[in-house]
Amino acid sequence: MPVGVASAQIRVFGQMWTRLLIATTQRLVVAVPLLACSVAVAAPDEPVAIGARITGDASRTILTIELSKPITYKVFALEKPYRVIIDIPAVEFRLPPTTGAGGFGLVSSFRFGMVGPGKSRVVIETNGPILVESAGILSKDGTGQAQFKIALAKTDAATFAARLPRAPVKVKAAAPVEAAIALAPKIQDSATRRGLPLVVLDPGHGGPDSGAVGPDGAEEKNMVLAISKRVRELLEATGQYRVEMTRDTDVFITLEGRVDYAEKHEANLMVSIHADSTAAGRHWQPTGGATVYTFSETASNEEARVLALRENMSDKVAGTAPSGDDRKIVSDWLTEEARFSTRTEEQLLAEQTVAKLAKVVPMTLLPRRSARFYVLKSPKVPAMLVETGYMNNRQDSGHLQSAEWRSKLAEAVVASIQAFFAERGNGIRSAVGLDQPQAMQ
């Protein structure tokens, strides 16, 4: 081949490679910022949990949490069930979703998450009574990072009880309520807005309380929050309602705090949104469908009773010592009248919701149920609890993780709310005698 031709070909190939390298470099330069934007970044001063592990054995077990910087902490223990609570400042947990699900040694599992503005919590479930042998922060020289280490030792029930604080440890309801107020959208301060009915949406669980967890790792707290946000969006779009949420981020709110929030704001309706799970929560099950619950002192069936017991344990799951099972309600004739009025309206609401949901989503064989749910106990605010599906039913879990399906369900819930207020405005209270003067006994 003539030297001139060979040189020309070499130049052509060189130009081609140069253009290819330039194009590739440009694509990489564009791609890197896009990737960086897709990753959640913690606030500059917010510590980050970047790892966690459990070591030791059945007599002494150590939980280590790797942190980007040292933090302050408070540790205490509770019983029924046995658990250790670690309260810390706001921490971004960059940990795999399954972290803490498996037990080791004295630890059966542990959870973590936000419990209010500037506050996070780690809840360690143990296999029996334990003592906190030691807890502390170890700084990693030269890195700025730190480790939180807590060592648990096996003990007996009597020793555990003797070491508990004399006064019960209790997280005041006021803090979570104010947290919800700070995190939820504010009601516009205008005469027109104030005249609209107020609907409070209550996404279940949150923070260290994940709720039901499907076999694929999907968490109830995330599914129901997404549904609630869509319901809020659709309700506000009508221009007919004010809408508040007990939480609109991944934060824990006590059961008492949720009820108090609705009562404090004089809500006209409260809708609590959850997702169910069978007893075999970590395995796929055939049971599926949505169910609508209202409050009743006597459960409609055994499954409803068990579900209410489980949901009423949410405070304990998140490491809060509840103030008691029953709300202290003054039992006078005005309260009794209010309770009767509220329960009657709830029946109408539940019937509307079942009818609307049945048109768009699968329902359980008994879609209308009642039980003693703490979050529905207010005598002042009509309320219902919607179990949107089963986290450990393959079809339901797929639906709950679908934005399109969640939107269909939200539309049905909104339609039921609109029908409820329409019928209420057309004289439901008069039809059942609630607007007639009641003779004093």
Tens digits of residue pLDDT in 185-208 = 443 444 445 689 999 999 999 999
Residue 74: inside a domain? yes
* CATH code for the domain of 397: 3.40.630.40
pLDDT digits (tens, 9 = 90+) for 110-127: 999 999 889 999 999 999
15 part of a folded domain: no
Query: Is 405 among the domain residues?
Result: yes
Q: Which residues pair with 51 in a beta bridge?
A: 66
DSSP 77-96: EETTTTEEEEEEE--EE---
262 and 410 in a common domain: yes
Same domain? For 245 and 316 the reply is: yes
* Tens digits of residue pLDDT in 25-69: 443 333 323 223 333 344 567 899 999 999 999 999 999 999 999
* Residue 68 to residue 49: CA distance in whole angstroms: 7
Q: Which of 128, 163, 198 is the last residue of a domain?
A: 163
Q: Do 58 and 195 reside in the same domain of the chain?
A: no
Question: What's 117-143 look like in SS3?
Answer: CCEEEEEEEECCCEEEEEEEEEECCCC
Query: By the 8 A CB rule, do 395 and 331 touch?
Result: no
Q: Is 312 left (phi over 0), alpha (psi -120 to 50) or beta?
A: alpha
Residues 256 and 313 in one domain: yes
Same domain, 375 and 399: yes
**Dihedral (CA of 270, 415, 309, 180) sign:** negative
Q: What is the pLDDT of residue 107?
A: 95
Domain-terminating residue out of 109, 142, 163: 163
- 28 burial via Cβ count (<10 Å: 0-12, 13-18, 19+): exposed
Instruction: List the chain residues with pLDDT less than 70.
Output: 1-44, 165-194, 321-339, 426-441
414 in a structural domain: yes
Q: For residue 388, which of 405, 370, 375, 404 has the smallest C-alpha distance? A: 405
Q: What is residue 178's predicted lDDT score, i.e. its pLDDT?
A: 37
The answer on 151 and 128 residing in a single domain is yes
Say yes or no: 340 and 405 in one domain: yes
Q: What does the alpha-carbon distance between residue 256 and residue 261 come to, in Å, rounded to a whole number?
A: 8
Per-residue pLDDT at 340: 74
Of 73, 44, 251, 45, nearest in space to 147 by CA: 73
- The DSSP code for 188 is P
Give the CATH number of the domain where residue 82 resides: 2.60.40.3500
Tell me how many domains the chain contains: 2
Q: Please name the residue that has the structure tokens 């039809």.
A: 431
369 and 290 inside one domain = yes
- pLDDT, residue 327, reads 44
Burial of 273 (0-12, 13-18, 19+ CB in 10 A): buried
354 within a domain of the structure (yes/no): yes
Smallest Cα–Cα separation from 202: which of 79, 381, 368, 438? 381
Owning domain of residue 56: 48-163
**Of the residues 136, 163, 190, which one is the last residue of a structural domain?**
163
Cis peptide before 81 (omega within 30 of 0): yes
For position 329, what pLDDT does the model report? 38
Q: How far apart, in whole angstroms, are the C-alpha atoms of residue 189 and residue 286?
A: 48
131 & 61 share domain: yes
Say if residues 241 and 194 touch (Cβ distance below 8 Å). Answer: no
pTM score, whole prediction: 0.72
